[in-house]
Every structure is written in structure tokens, then in C-alpha cells.
Amino acid sequence: MPMRYEGGCLCRTVRYVSDAAPINERICHCRLCQRAIGASFNARLLFRIEDVSIEGPVRTYNSSQSLKRGFCPECGTTLFSMRESAGVMGITAGSLDDPGLFKPADHIWTSSRQPWLCLSDGLTEYPEAP
């Protein structure tokens, strides 16, 4: 039975849903994610763009030439990062209605991991992109 992934922003102005299985589930420690999320890492589920339906107004910001980040214009919740050229969208695990659905497989960009963050979950760690 397929899993349903639903979520949205803090003020509930923006909602999203996907019935597709994620391509992967990762924890990214790169500095761009740290700044965009406002935390030491970005826990995200990667989907094909066409597998995610979004309702409500979304603002975007290009944090790099190929990466666009989407957020609620009302409350500011970061909801996704998107690489249109690759056809993929990374949904933030914290914006899921049930964040317990997030099952990370690995840590990426650990070369930028904050020195006070101890990774003891036994997941594979990649200094940069896998």
C-alpha cells in the first residue's frame, strides 16, 4: 500500500501532498541548507516534481544557479528545494504532518557539519554529494 506524504507551513496557508515513494531521504549538512533552514542540517525527502501537488501561494528564492527554495510568503516556513533541471523537489521533513515518516538513509555534505553535532545514528556519511 503506497504511503501518503502530506504537510505544509506553520500557518497552513500552503499545503502539499504526494502519494509517490520518495527517490531518497537524506540529511544535508551543506552551508546553503543550514542558512535556508536556519538549523544545523536539512532533513529532506526527494520526490519527482510531478509527484508533488502544492496548494496555496509559494514564494521561491534561487539559493544557487540550479537550486530554488520554496517557502510560505505568510509565515516563512521553508517547504522545499527544487532542481527543475533534474525534475526533483526535496520536501523538508519538518513540514510533514507526520515527520515520523522520514526515514533517512544517509548524511550528505558532512564536510560542512557543525563541529558540535555528533552523528551517532550509524548512517553512511558522505563528505560531499554521494
Residue type at 87 in one-letter notation: G
Q: Evaluate whether residue 52 is within a structural domain.
A: yes
CA distance 74 to 77: 8
Domain CATH for 20? 2.170.150.70
> Which residue is it, cell 504532518?
97
pLDDT of amino acid 104: 97
Mean pLDDT of 81-94: 97
CA distance 120 to 117: 9
Q: Evaluate whether residue 37 is within a structural domain.
A: yes
Q: pLDDT for 27-59, tens place per residue?
A: 999 999 999 999 999 999 999 999 999 999 999
Q: Evaluate whether residue 102 is within a structural domain.
A: yes
**pTM exceeds 0.85 for this model:** yes
Total domains, the chain = 1
Q: What percent of the chain has pLDDT over 70?
A: 98
Q: Evaluate whether residue 91 is within a structural domain.
A: yes
Mean pLDDT of 2-19: 95
Q: Evaluate whether residue 51 is within a structural domain.
A: yes
Q: Evaluate whether residue 126 is within a structural domain.
A: no
pLDDT of amino acid 3: 87
pLDDT of amino acid 43: 97
* Host H or E run for residue 31: helix 31-37
Domain that holds residue 28: 5-113
